[in-house]
Amino acid sequence: MAFPFLRSVCALLLFALLCHSAAAQHEPHDQGCVHMPIVHSTNVGYFSSRRGVQLQLANRSDVAYYAQLSLGTPPQPVYVQLDTGSFELWVNPDCNAVSGADAAFCERAGQYDASRSSTVNPLGTTRTLRYGIGSANITYVTDTITLAGSTTALEAVQFGVATSSEDAFSGILGIGYGKGIATRYSNFVDQLSEQNATRVKAYTIALGSKDAQEGVIVFGGIDRSKFAGTLARLPIIPAESSPDLVPRFWIDMQSISITPPGGRARVYDGSTMPVFLDSGSTMTLLPPNLTNTIASDFGVQNVDPDGFIRIDCAFATMNGTLDFAFDGLTVKVPYKELIREVPSNPPACFLGITPSERFALLGDTFMRSAYIVFDLESDSVWMTQAANCGSTPAALNNVRDLSAVVGACGSTNSAVTGTSGTVIPGTGTQNGAAQSRPISATGGAASTSGTATSAQDRSQRTASRASSSRLEPRGIVWSLVAVMALRILSRV
């Protein structure tokens, strides 16, 4: 079967990436930032300024997004998974609890040694974090956190250090809600606000396409070169009204439809539901009946028991889309972005959707096609279709109304001015031209059926996140290292 092979190849690729390092070079940025090439990766940079925090995300294997933090004094670099669906930062997974390529990556991802830090403060409290697959027993400390490429350091940030873990080869950087909502302490993203690193409690994510070398997250700011048109405001559903009663980024989805190559859009029945946005999940999770109906449009009559939907790879070359409709907005996900290609002989392709009885979430297979602003001041998500026409990160003075902010890609109405990187709606000039990635239409594809996989393979694609965190950015453009991890992670 293909997945054990994929896991080994991918982890070895990440191992090689982590072994590679580049000397940092400072370059002026047109928004008052300092650009620095990212360590352990290529085509990824650090930006630091006094108005926002920017984190470059490198897409290496179409599986999961990782960021680099430096903990303690002197700084100790570690890689952690970036996760909008959880709320806490923890490090030091047990590398002895994983094997093979996972263990190799775990070792290279870095470990934090509290005894080597002069600024650590053990808190003496412990907790067990449980996930859909795996768990971590942690003990809390506070210590300094430095973001790569930035001279700014966050002091006395609370995070967890694992004493043991299962089925984990890296820690997690949860960037969901935090103190008073999902955690009892000020987590990493709360500290950005409390230590005046950012002005507003908001951040923006553009993961980039599967083929892109990098994506970007801007804490306390926005990058107009990552979208076209305007942003639509979608209220976040309160935890007490959400399906799992957890304070996540739940929003109302009106429908899902399919637009086949050369055909007309067709709306799926039963596709109106609350969903939450989760960068920690590779896959998009939908109810089984809806998943089966979508699968049938890709020639699959039966989804296998493990949730994999194997389809003809010819679909990846077709000019069709799966369309996700919200209030005032439709995000079109091209077949190419929705389909996961697994290196094997012959090649194997899988639909980036899997069934879930518990709840629905929109993972990376959706988020790569959307530009998303997570606004924690007004409990809103601002969203539009993603694009890519350069890089112009800028800080936000407020997020009360982003409807006047217009994307630079294909737009003549700019909304960013000033050397400080502040966003001023209705002024400025167009910055760059849209770089579209059209998918050429081809003929039909043969009918296929799902392929069963083992429980071990299922663990490769499934790792959920269950901690808590809230991002409260206010004003500096920062950057962290980020690379793609090499295994399929989907929340269940």
Any catalytic annotation for residue 306? no
Burial class (CB in 10 A: 0-12, 13-18, 19+), 301: exposed
For residue 61, which amino acid is it? Answer: S
**Of 62, 83, 364, 375, catalytic:** 83
Cis peptide before 355 (omega within 30 of 0): no
Tokens for 415? 């909304």
Cα separation of the two ends of the chain? 23
For residues 89 and 471, what is the distance between their CA atoms, to the nearest angstrom?
12
Other Cβ atoms less than 10 A from the Cβ of 407: the count is 28
**In this structure, are strands 171-174 and 76-83 parallel, antiparallel, or unpaired?**
parallel
**Of 167, 190, 223, 278, catalytic:** 278
Which neighbouring-strand residues pair with 305?
Answer: none
Burial 410-427 (b: 16+ CB within 10 A, else e): bbebbbbbeeebbbebee
For residues 461 and 283, what is the distance between their CA atoms, to the nearest angstrom?
8
For residues 467 and 125, what is the distance between their CA atoms, to the nearest angstrom?
16
**In this structure, are strands 153-166 and 89-91 parallel, antiparallel, or unpaired?**
parallel
For residues 76 and 5, what is the distance between their CA atoms, to the nearest angstrom?
32
Q: How far is CA 461 from the centre of its chain?
A: 16
Which neighbouring-strand residues pair with 380?
Answer: 235, 375
Secondary structure, 3-state, 291-315: HHHHHHCCCECCCCCCCCCEECHHH
> Phi/psi at 177 (nearest 5 deg)?
-65, 160
CA nearest 62: which of 19, 18, 9, 113?
9
H or E element that contains 151? none
Estimate the crossing angle of helix 100-109 against helix 2-19, to 10 degrees.
Answer: 20
Other Cβ atoms less than 10 A from the Cβ of 136: the count is 29
Does residue 5 sit in helix, strand or coil? helix
**In this structure, are strands 221-223 and 53-57 parallel, antiparallel, or unpaired?**
unpaired
Any catalytic annotation for residue 312? no
Q: Are 441 and 261 in contact (CB under 8 A)?
A: yes
Q: Which residues are catalytic?
A: 83, 278
